[in-house]
Amino acid sequence: MAAPLLENLNPEQLAAVTLPHASALILAGAGSGKTRVLTTRIAWLLATGQASPLSVLAVTFTNKAAKEMLARLSALTPVNTRGMWVGTFHGLCNRMLRAHYRDAGLPQLFQIMDMQDQLALIKRVYKAHNIDDDRFPARTLQAFVNDAKESGLRPNQVEAGDELSRRQVEHYALYEQACNREGVVDFPELLLRSYELLSRNDSLREHYRRRFSHVLVDEFQDTNVLQYKWLQILTGPHTAVFAVGDDDQSIYAFRGANVANMQHFERDFGTAETPVKLIKLEQNYRSHRHILDAANALIKNNQGRLGKNLWTSDARGEPVRAFAAPSDIDEASFIVDIVKGLIDEGVSPAEIAVLYRSNAQSRVVEHALFNAAMPYRVYGGMRFFERAEVKHALAYLRLIAAPDDDGAFLRVVNFPPRGIGARSLETLQERAQAAGTSLWQAACAGTVSGKAGASLASFIRQIESMRETTRVLTLPQAVEHVVHASGLLSHYGAEKDGQDRIDNLQELVAAADSFMREAEREIGEDIGDPLTGFLAHAALEAGETQAAEGRPALQLMTVHSAKGLEFHTVFVTGLEEGLFPHENSLSEYDGVEEERRLAYVAITRARRRLYLTHAQSRMLHGQLRYNIASRFLDEFPAGLVQWLSPQRRDRAAEPMGYGAGVPRAAFRETPGWRIGQSVKHARFGLGIIIDSEGRGTDARVQVNFRDSGVKWLALEYAKLQPA
């Protein structure tokens, strides 16, 4: 029965599937068939009688992956897989807590809160204890609580080093009391309470250790501190732990993933008598050799890797191609031109992906695709003009342009929240309908009384103030003013994961600037009122670029979203210092290495063609940035990458952009300033530092100014300011 399972496995896959009873770390490279190995390992254990369905526990990171694993197992073996413990960490912990709810201190029918439910409970706690949401934003406490739980910490275990932390710990304790009183648990609580249950209950812990003789974990590089501890306490000296992962693809540190778990596995799950077996799956079944050579060359620059080298028996394929664009608009045009050629060659648009580091980068590419009438989909997210924060800002702009727009009014009258409840809005709508007026006119007439009426009056004054202020501003300035004055920036700034939304709001300013520049290039075109024209443009891009149902469409996504996917052709865009690697990574421990792993993931999504692009200037987050090439582009060996842009041909050892011609090794940092930094000068305007020399009063920098060219400036006299 087991023999057919082993057909068509390569030697390393075969060794992993047929390992004897011992813990093993399977270092599975991108495209090496790790899911097949993991599933076949379970099927082989069942088919050979080494395990029963009741003695196997398999952990995946998504419910979809768990369902796919069970479906594959059912196809591979006649053994009934119903009742097997296959699921996510949270799903398996929920199953354990349901079975032992009394020991866990939970009611039998305890309810699980999603993130919105959790936030609502925190707000109820705030109201009950008169906690100021402005001083201690509810979303900030939500992030604090979840981070603490995912580190295995209760309120009395969290160290409070300052007054803010002390107050957050107090609020965490109040929140926990409310959860216990209401019999509800949040997602991190499932894992923490399950861990605590096993920690303090010796007989229960031994029961599960005896029961689960085989524990298999997928995507092991993505486990966090508490998940690792849960696995440790669940497994005993006689449990075979089969961990499959790739330290080179650990890209979720911002979610708590700890790549060090892979490095500690051999120490923590092996013994002197039965050391952990390490097997490397390095044969790649996805990509041509040139693409793998690029991936290997890049990732070898990371320190502390467990180490592997992807290879393929496939052809070398086409060279990796790179393009240095003068601007982000030129970068997008290049992508559209190449995509048109690929489609003419017979490549489906659905097999082409454009990857970017930041969601805000998608706008320029979306606009180019819109102008080219090319269907596209934003994977795992919304198109730029469909994103909630952008639609909120557009609603404020619509009210400035046309205050009788009821749809815009309803969208933002209580966003950010200003104490206008649903009942008050119903009253306003009833009275507006009775009077035959718009909601704006009804609100101006004071038809709602009390606190809600005062809040409505304040909202009316806010819109009128914005309208008056923006009357004398350019369109980009008007959009920027509204984004700030509406309170949207400060609202999203209080959210743990609000930076993407802030970036998109700032990118809306860039969209307005781009709209005006394009309008100016259209000779003789009269766009009338710029704000009205821009709002129409946004509506068209949001509505008319929808791909027809079932029609192949180009895929746009962040690199994080692309993990686990593959495409015929991949464009990795925005390879610039400060963008990819992201500027935040430069100040974080292991930050640049995680960014390099992210670039490695991006490269290994491509099967046949790979394009790497960079823009010398980019309008991003409402600011024009002058860029130098990403350090990652310098890490490819000479000759591996074919440059398509004229300024880069035969100059592969030089950095791109406004610093081109100056070897990176010659760059010298001057205290207070750095190469690649954007600066402004009272006379020469905006520019970017491309070189520096000297110290003290002799220090000077070379700056490439947007409008004035390259100049050397003495820092003592130049009065440069960061841009």
For residue 609, the one-letter residue type is R
Kindly state the tokens that stand for 278. Answer: 């390490």
Kindly state the tokens that stand for 536. Answer: 């129409």
Contact 320, 290 (CB under 8 A): yes
Q: Which residues pair with 614 in a beta bridge?
A: 324
Gyration radius of the chain over CA positions: 29
Q: Is 35 a catalytic residue?
A: yes
13, 34, 447, 613: which one is catalytic? Answer: 34
13, 35, 142, 613: which one is catalytic? Answer: 35
Other CB atoms closer than 10 Å to residue 121's CB: what's the count?
19
**Local structure of 696: helix, strand or coil:** helix
Instruction: For 311-334, give the secondary structure using H, E and C.
Output: ECCCCCCCCEEEEEEEEHHHHHHH
Q: What are phi and psi of 495, to 5 degrees?
A: -90, 145
Kindly state the tokens that stand for 570. Answer: 């991949």
Other CB atoms closer than 10 Å to residue 637's CB: what's the count?
10
39, 223, 249, 283: which one is catalytic? Answer: 249
User: Measured in whole angstroms, how far is the alpha carbon of residue 587 from the centre of its chain?
Assistant: 19
Q: Which residue has the tokens 């998940």?
A: 227
Helix (H) or strand (E) run with residue 680 in it: strand 678-681
41, 149, 501, 605: which one is catalytic? Answer: 605
**How far, in Å, CA of 546 to CA of 541, rounded?**
9
Contact 163, 170 (CB under 8 A): no
12, 186, 189, 218: which one is catalytic? Answer: 218
Closest C-alpha to 442, from 454, 428, 452: 428
Q: Which residue has the tokens 């992807």?
A: 310
Q: Where are the strands (E) in 497-652, listed by range?
A: 554-558, 567-572, 606-620, 623-626, 641-643
CA atoms within 13 A on the CB side of 528: 8
12, 219, 507, 541: which one is catalytic? Answer: 219
Closest C-alpha to 452, from 480, 431, 428, 485: 428
Q: Is 441 a catalytic residue?
A: no
| Dihedral angle of Cα 323, 327, 333, 338, to the nearest 10 degrees | 10
**How far, in Å, CA of 289 to CA of 312, rounded?**
6
**How far, in Å, CA of 30 to CA of 605, rounded?**
8
**How far, in Å, CA of 148 to CA of 151, rounded?**
5
**Local structure of 277: helix, strand or coil:** strand
CA atoms within 13 A on the CB side of 469: 17
Other CB atoms closer than 10 Å to residue 196's CB: what's the count?
15
Strands of 721-722's sheet in order across: 709-714, 700-705, 685-693, 678-681, 721-722
Angstrom distances, CA of residue 152 to CA of 91, 148, 160, 228, 537: 18, 6, 16, 11, 49
660 DSSP assignment:
T
Contact 390, 504 (CB under 8 A): yes
For residue 437, the one-letter residue type is T
Q: What are phi and psi of 519, to 5 degrees?
A: -65, -40
Q: Is 340 a catalytic residue?
A: no
Q: Is 67 a catalytic residue?
A: no
Catalytic residues: 34-35, 218-219, 249, 605
